[in-house]
Structure 1
Amino acid sequence: MTPGGSGPLRNGDFRLLLAGATAGQLGAQVTVVALPLVAVVELHASALQTGVLTAAETAAFLLVGLPAGAWVDRMRRLPVLIRADTVRAVAMAGLPLAAWSGTLTMAQLYLVALVTGVATVFFDVAHQSYLPALLPREQLVSGNGALETVRSSAQVAGPGLGGGLVQAVGAPFALVADALGYLLSALFLRRIRTPEAAPVAPAAGASLRAQVAEGLAFVFGNPVLRMIACATAVANFFNAMLLAVQTVFLVRVLGLPPGVLGLMMSASAVGGLAGALSAGALARALGRARVIWLSTVVTGPFALLWPLAGHGAAALWYALASAVVFFGAVVYNVAQVSFRQMLCPDALLGRMNATLRFMVWGTMPFGALAGGAIASAAGARSAVWVCAAGFLLVPVPLLLSPLRRLRDLPEPAAVLRPEAG
C-alpha cells in the first residue's frame, strides 16, 4: 500500500483495479445500447417487454441483495470479483451464439439478464468493500473519483461504440464486446497481489439471518445513511423507468438510427465524466455534506427537458438534460459512497454495501415495469414525463436529513452514536 500522501494512482494494484473496471465498464456500456436493440429491432419487443427486460437486469438486487453482503463478508473479496466477471462473460457470450444459430428468444434475454444481474450483485458489493483493502481511508475519495472517471469515460465511449457496432454487425453480435470486457476485467484482477486480510469469522452459532440483521441495523440506525438510501432509491426508481423506455422513445418516437442513438445516450456519460473529475474539488469548496444534497437540488430540474425533445435538432434537449442530471448524480455518488466507506468497519462493509444496494437498487425492477406499463398504456413520451417529474423528488429525503444543516460530514464516531429515544 502506498503512503497516504502519494495518491492512489501510484498504487500498482489500484491501477490494475482501474484497468479491470475500464474493460468491464466499456463492454457493459456497449450492452446498454445493444441489448435493448436486440429486443426492439431483432425480436420486435413491445414497450412492456423492454420494461420486463430492464427489470430482469436489476431483479437480483431484490432476490439476493441482502444475503450477498453476509456471504461477501465471509469471503475474501478479490476471488468474488474474478468469479463474477467470469460468469458474466460466459452468460453474455451465449447471446451472439444463439443469434448465429437462429434460436435467440426473449426468454433467453430475460434469463441472461437475471444471471448477469446476480453476478453483478456480488461483484458490486465486493468491489465497494474491496477498495479499502487497497487504499488508506484518506485516499478513498480520490480512489472513488478515479473509478467514477473510468466508469463515466466508458459511458462516453461505450454507447457510441455500441451504436456503431450494431450498425456494422447487428445488435446480437455487438454483445461480444461485453463478454470480452468482462473476460479482460477478470484477467486484470487476477494480477493483483496486495494481500487481503482473512475475513472475520462469524461468531459461533451466528446465522446468516443474524448477520444480515446486523447490516440492516447499522444502516437503519444511522440517520444520514437512512436518508441517503431513501434519496438514492427514488433516483434509481425513476432512472430505471427511463432506461426501460428510452430506446423506444428515441427510436420509435424521435426516429433516431442506432448510431445516433448511441451518441445521444453518451451525453449522460459526458456529464458524468465532468462530475467525476470535479467531485473532489466541489466537495472541498462546498463541503462534503453540503455537496451531497446540493448536487441533486441544482441538477434535478433539468430532467424536465427530456420529454420536451423532438425530431431533428430538438432531440438535443434530451442530450442536454442527460448531461446535466448525470453530472449531479456522479458528484452525489462519489461523495456519499466515500462517506459510507469511511464510516463503516471493515467487517461490516459487505453487509452495509449490500443493505444499501438492496434498498437503492431494489426499486429498479419496479421502476422498469412501471415505465413499460405507462409507455404501453399512454405512450413513451408520457412515461418520460413521469420520469422527469420523479427526479424532482430525489433531494427531498436529503433536505429532511441532518445533512442540510452541515457543511462537512461528521466524524464516524459522532455518526455512530445511537439516536436519542
Structure 2
Amino acid sequence: MGVVDDGPAVMEPKLRRYPAFVRFWLASTVSDFGTYITTLALSVLILVTMNGTPLDQGLINAARWTPYLLFGLVAGVWIDRFPRRTVLIGGDLGRGLILAGVCVTAVMGTLSVPTLMVLMFTFGTLALTSDAAYQSFLPQLVPRSLLTQANARLQQSDTVAQTTGSAVAGGLVAVVTAPVALLVDAVSYFFSAAVLLSLERPSGQAPVRSKLRLHQKVAEGLRWVYGHPQLAPLAWSTHIWFIGSAILGTVLPTVILNDLHLGALGLGLVLGCSGIGAVVGTTLSTRLGHRRGTGNAMVAARLAQPFAVALVALAPLAAGGGHAGEVHDSPLQWPGELWAAFALAGLGQLLFGLAMGVEGPLEMGYQQAVTPDRLIARMSATRRSVNRGMIVIGAPLGGVIAIAAGTDMALWAAVAFLLLASLVLLFSRFRDARIEDQQLSDEEALIP
C-alpha cells in the first residue's frame, strides 16, 4: 500500500487518510499498553515476589538490553534483507510467548534470577529486530512531510498507555499477582501481530540490495550517525541520557516499593504521573518544534529532566524514617509524610514525562527526515544499539550505587548524568537544527 505525496502545493493530508498507518497505530497502542503493565509487574516480581535486590533488578534490566549491545550494529543490515512487516509480526509473536513462559515458571515456583535473565535476553533480541523494522517501516506508511506528526501520534498513544497502564498495572498486580499480570502483555503482543497480519505489504517495499559487505554496511551506518553535523551531538547526548535513565529505572521501583513501602499501586501511580506529563508533552511537541525550532525545543526539554529527577531524589527525605518496614498497599493508609513523599516523586515524574513527551517526536521525526530510506534501518539500529548498550552499563551501576551508598545517592547519580547529557546538546550545533531546513523530500529519499 504505497503513499505518494501530492507535492508542496497541496495541503498536507491528515493521517487518517492513510489506513495502513491507522491500523499500525492501533497495533502499537495496544502493545504499548501491555508493555507498561509488564514494566511494573517485572519490578514487583523481582523485588517483592522473588525478594530480589536492586542489583538483581539492574542485572535483569541489563540482560533485556544486552542484545542491542551485541547485535545492534548488524541488526539494521539484517533487517534490510526481509520485509519489515514480517519482522514486526515475528517479534510480536515471539515476545508474547516469552512473557507467557515467565508467567508459567513464576507460578510453578521455578523462576530464578538467572532464568529470568535468559528469558529477558531472548525478549530483548526480538525487541531489537522489531525496533529496527519499526523505524524503517513507518516512512513506508506516510509521506516524509508527515513523519513528525505520525511520530507525535504514536508517542501520544504510548504516553496514554503509560498513564493508564501503569495505574491499572498497580491494581492488577495487587489483585492477581505480578506473574499473572504479565499475561496481559502477552495477549497485547498477539493482538498486535494479528493487526499487522491484516496490513497489505506496502508497494515498493523490497529488501535493500547492496554490493557492500557486512562490515562496510555497518561502517556506513556509523559514519552517517557520527559524521552528521546534527545527528552526531544528538547521538552522544542521548547515549549519556540513557545511562542516567537506566539508573533511575533501576532505583525508582526500589525507592517506592522497599524504602517508602507504597506497594504496587503506589508504584503504578508514580509511574502514571510520568505518563500524564508525557501526554501533555507530545501534544505540545510539534507546535513547540515549529515555533522554537527542533534543536531549541529539545535542548529545553533535556535541561528540565535533571531538575525533575532531583524532585524524585528529595521524596525519601520528605517521608522521614518513621515508616521503615510498614507496608501501605492503599493510599488510604498513607500518613501525611508519605503523601508528601508521593507528591514530590509524582511531580518529578510528571515533569520528567512532560520533557520526554516534548523531545520524543521531534527527535524521531528529525532522524527519519534527514536520513535516506536506504540508511534508516542502519541509522536506527546504530543509535538504538549504543543507547541500549548504555542501559547495560547504567542499570547494574544503579544497583551497585544503591547497595553501596544508598538509593538516594543513586538517584543523584542519575541527576548528574541527565545534566551532562543536556549540556552536551546545549553546547552543540544541534541547538540550531530545524527539521524544516534539512528535511528530505520523498523523491530524494527514494534515490538509491
- What TM-score bracket applies, with the shorter chain setting the length? over 0.9
Answer yes or no: is 1:176 the counterpart of 2:183.
yes
Asked if residue 313 in structure 1 is aligned to residue 319 in structure 2, the reply is: no
Question: Which residue number in structure 2 is paired with residue 197 of structure 1?
Answer: 205
Counterpart amino acid of residue 247 in structure 1 = P
Measure the CA separation in 2 of the matches of 1:138 and 1:26. 28
- Provide the residue aligned with 2:84 in structure 1: 77
Question: Equivalent of 2:116, from 87, 109, 119?
Answer: 109
Query: Helix, strand or coil: the match of 2:35?
Result: helix
* 1:139 aligned residue (116, 141, 146): 146
- Pairwise CA distance, 1:161: 1.5
- 8 Å contact kept, 1:2–1:8: no
Cα pair distance change 1:298/1:240, threshold 3 Å: closer
For 1:233, the aligned partner's letter is H
Shift of 1:246: 1.2
Quote the residue 1:343 is aligned against: 370
Distance 2:434 2:175 in 1: 51
Tell me if the contact between 1:306 and 1:385 (Cα under 8 Å) persists in the aligned partners: no
**SS of the counterpart of 2:219?**
helix
Which residue in the other structure is 1:416 paired with? Answer: none
Q: Deviations over 1:231-253 (max 9, x none)?
A: 11111111111111111111111
The offset of 1:140, in angstroms, is 0.4
1:378-402 CA distances to partner (integer Å, 9 max, x unpaired)?
1112211211232211212212221
Residue 108 of structure 1 and its aligned partner are, at CA, apart by 2.0
Of residues 380, 391, 401, the one that matches 1:353 is 380
1:196 Cα offset (Å) = 4.7
In 1, the alpha carbon distance for the partners of 2:105 and 2:186 equals 14
Contact kept? 1:91, 1:112, Cα under 8 Å: yes
State whether residues 369 and 435 of structure 2, in contact with CA within 8 Å, keep that contact through their aligned partners in structure 1.
no
Q: Is the 8 A contact 1:289 1:409 kept in 2?
A: no
How big is the shift at 1:167? 0.6
CA distance in 2, matches of 1:342, 1:72: 20
> Mind listing any 5+ residue stretches in structure 2 that lack a counterpart?
7-11, 320-337, 441-448
- Is 1:52 aligned to residue 54 of structure 2? no
Answer yes or no: is the 8 Å Cα contact 1:73–1:349 preserved in 2: no
Q: Percent identity?
A: 31
Distance 1:408 1:100, change over 3 A: closer
2:248 to 242, 251, 257: 242
- Structure 1: runs of 5+ lacking an equivalent: 414-421
Deviation per CA, 1:267-288: give whole Å up to 9, x if none. Answer: 1111111111111111122122
The partner residue of 1:283 within 282, 289, 307 is 289
User: How far apart are the structure 2 equivalents of 1:365 and 1:239?
Assistant: 11
Q: Is the 8 A contact 1:242 1:371 kept in 2?
A: yes
- In structure 1, the partner of 2:165 is 158
d(CA) in 1 for partners of 2:96, 2:273: 27
Q: Distance in 1 between matches of 2:179 and 2:112?
A: 11
Give, in angstroms, the shift of residue 403 of structure 1.
2.5
Distance 1:269 1:233 in 2: 22
Deviations 1:101-135 (CA, angstroms, capped at 9, x unpaired): 22122222111211111111111111011110000
Q: Does residue 1:17 correspond to 2:18, yes or no?
A: no
CA contact (8 A) 1:73 1:350 kept: yes
Letter of the 1:260 partner, please give it: G
Counterpart for residue 357 of structure 2: 330
| Cα deviation, residue 405, structure 1 | 4.0
The answer for the alignment partner of 1:270 in structure 2 is 276
Q: Is the 8 A contact 1:153 1:270 kept in 2?
A: yes
- The one of 122, 125, 137 equivalent to 2:132 is 125
TM-score normalised over the length of structure 1: 0.94
Asked if structure 2 preserves the Cα contact closer than 8 Å seen for 1:92 and 1:178, the reply is yes
- Secondary structure of the 1:384 match is helix
Report the TM-score, using the length of structure 2 for normalisation: 0.89
Report the Cα distance in structure 1 between the residues aligned to 2:206 and 2:178, rounded to whole angstroms.
43
Confirm or deny that 1:364 pairs with 2:391.
Answer: yes
How far is 1:185 from its partner?
0.8
* Conserved? CA contact 1:157–1:266, under 8 Å: yes
- Three-state SS of the structure 2 residue aligned to 1:393 is helix
Distance 1:192 1:218 in 2: 31
SS in 2 for 1:318: helix
1:32-51 equivalences under 5 Å are 32-51=39-58
Distance 2:198 2:154 in 1: 18
SS at match of 1:358: helix
Amino acid across the alignment from 2:346: A
State the secondary structure of the residue aligned to 2:437.
coil
Following the alignment from structure 1 to structure 2, what is the Cα–Cα distance between the partners of residues 408 and 29? Answer: 30
The answer to whether the 8 A contact 2:305-2:418 is kept is: no
Q: Distance in 1 between matches of 2:86 and 2:183?
A: 24
Q: Deviations along 1:182-217, whole A, 9 cap, x unmatched? A: 1111111111113352122121xx321111111111
- The 8 Å contact of residues 2 and 10 in structure 1, kept in 2 or not, is answered as no
User: Contact 2:100 / 2:186 at 8 angstroms: preserved in 1?
Assistant: yes
1:47 to partner: Cα distance: 1.4
- Alpha-carbon RMSD: 1.6
User: Alpha-carbon deviation of 1:88?
Assistant: 0.3
Asked if 2 retains the 8 angstrom alpha-carbon contact of 1:303 and 1:389, the reply is no
Provide the C-alpha distance between the structure 1 equivalents of 2:14 and 2:436, rounded to a whole number of angstroms. 22
